[in-house]
Structure 1
């Protein structure tokens, strides 16, 4: 039995600049934080030998790899030669809620399969392989931030270069700074699940059309770089950065926000939050807020009945938590 655990992520600044049709021309950057909410995957030899039993949001019992319906599982099992296994997936939060769960699944699956075969692959290489699976092989119209944000762990400044390379640098925080950051952040679940692909496809079309969208995305990449430096001196600067980035992101595509999202955002700021954003591509899922000076409880009260969730750093990244 092998079990992998892969964190989900929240992105503070720069979302959208990781799309290939943007960073290949202008370069992109995000500030991303792995969080202590996880995707767990397990695998062991199938009792009946041949075939598979695959348990995720659906149950599959295919007799061959080619018959697997789940595209990511089929692709990764095929490239790694996985045969005759019992596979199970579970997660702390639902998919399609803006926390990068699809890429966390891919990263965790690659880690799981390599461990099952007795191989070690580093976290950055797992992220690169996940990008290859999702973007290059399966043609998903997504960016690269989720794969790296979920694989490497911690709080990171991640850059996407025109030559398709990706580099990252950890943002150093003291214990006191980390505690302030975690204590002042809150996620509120607005409900709903969506596929990021459709919204990101619209954003990619907006990038191709040029104009003000390009200017906004350039500013968002620059904002991520600026926040990397400012955050280590003043954690409370995060709120205004989040607000500026959210206002820019709303202009990129009409599908990113909605009236109930705008209403919740306004109520949170009136209760003391200094900034926030909708996590993920947009449309539904989690709102993230920075709530300094003891305003976190007031923000939660103002947004009832939306359920609040703590935001805690994961410093490890994807890992194998059990092997026997």
Structure 2
């Protein structure tokens, strides 16, 4: 039997960073995000060789391990091993031999939540394969615990829930890791207008979000007044943007996006850099209304809002820089998995 799964990547539209502890524990967080048609993928194939074979294209790992109830976390394909170890421990699953293959549509460090989406995707494959009793909330929570607590990877809570639920979501992050996901029903014409008005540009720079997030956490924990007040405004932007989106007001949406970016830059020193600033300066010169970096910052993808009649002009200009414009559409569905019982291969 073969099991496959896929989970979407997301754009962090507003409130990013308010889902990161200790801020979310102290003040509560609010996030507005949406998934797009870029995905992480996982395939699990049952084997009879007594081995666990890991083929992770993104982690550049292709290795086989003796059948075991625990795979050592040593920097090689840690996301896969972290999920496997938790599944064995939490659900008392007897180890069995298999091959797992993973890859995704975006580069690591893209700011689209690739790592968290991958953890959700791998978990979904195990859920499908082993018939585990996990819904969207349970998968999201377990993915968060694996990534943040077991593997000790810095980050927030929104990405796991975005990947599991899919679509446009307004999320609340409360004390004790409590999360409430509020799906938004956006009219089709508003989604079309948002797609017509938005450009997704890859800066050509992949970055590790850990150092940026760690500095953000440190400033929140130390009571840094400038950083905390900026984060309060960022959290409020999620509320304001939700109303702008529901009304289809793209100009207001763009203004909120731009102001949130100015506030975000106050959270950590490495959130922006000369490459990012050059993209913003050039885009604004040729007609962009505003924008922000998706994710922690420092590189990855930039979301830019433009007048749809000038969109092609902005795209042509940006494509002359070191990065590239990524075509995309918003999606409704979250992570899902399926079984294939025929093992015949070409």
Q: TM-score, normalised by structure 2?
A: 0.89
Match of 1:231 among 236, 240, 245: 245
Aligned counterpart, 1:253:
268
Q: CA deviation at 1:136?
A: 2.2
Aligned counterpart, 1:55:
55
Cα distance in 1 between the residues matched to 2:269 and 2:99: 42
* Contact map agreement 1:181 1:235 (CA 8 A) in 2: no
Aligned counterpart, 1:14:
15
Cα distance in 1 between the residues matched to 2:297 and 2:278: 15
- In structure 2, the CA distance between the partners of 1:67 and 1:170, relative to structure 1 (3 Å rule), is closer
Q: Secondary structure at the residue paired with 1:114?
A: helix
CA-to-aligned-CA distance 1:68-96 (integer Å, 9 cap, x gap): 63322222212223531101011111111
Of stretches 171-180 and 76-85 in structure 1, the one that deviates more from structure 2 is: 76-85
Aligned counterpart, 2:119:
106
- In structure 2, the CA distance between the partners of 1:182 and 1:321, relative to structure 1 (3 Å rule), is farther
Structure 2 residue 318 is the aligned partner of structure 1 residue 317: no
Q: Secondary structure at the residue paired with 1:311?
A: coil
How many residues are aligned here? 323
Aligned counterpart, 1:91:
104
Q: CA deviation at 1:323?
A: 3.6
5+ long unaligned stretches in structure 2: 89-94, 342-346
**Runs of 4+ deviating beyond 4 Å:** none
Aligned counterpart, 1:75:
82
Aligned counterpart, 2:91:
none
Match of 2:71 among 38, 61, 66: 66
- In structure 2, the CA distance between the partners of 1:75 and 1:246, relative to structure 1 (3 Å rule), is same
Match of 1:307 among 324, 336, 343: 324
* Contact map agreement 2:4 2:338 (CA 8 A) in 1: yes
* Contact map agreement 1:5 1:321 (CA 8 A) in 2: no
Q: CA deviation at 1:322?
A: 4.4
CA-to-aligned-CA distance 1:238-289 (integer Å, 9 cap, x gap): 2111101111111111101101110111111222221111111111111111
Cα distance in 1 between the residues matched to 2:340 and 2:6: 12
Of stretches 134-143 and 87-96 in structure 1, the one that deviates more from structure 2 is: 134-143
Aligned counterpart, 2:92:
none
Superposition RMSD on alpha carbons, in Å? Answer: 1.5
* Contact map agreement 1:43 1:112 (CA 8 A) in 2: yes
Q: CA deviation at 1:119?
A: 2.9
Q: Secondary structure at the residue paired with 1:66?
A: coil
Cα distance in 2 between the residues matched to 1:157 and 1:26: 17
Q: CA deviation at 1:233?
A: 1.0
Structure 2 residue 259 is the aligned partner of structure 1 residue 244: yes
5+ long unaligned stretches in structure 1: none
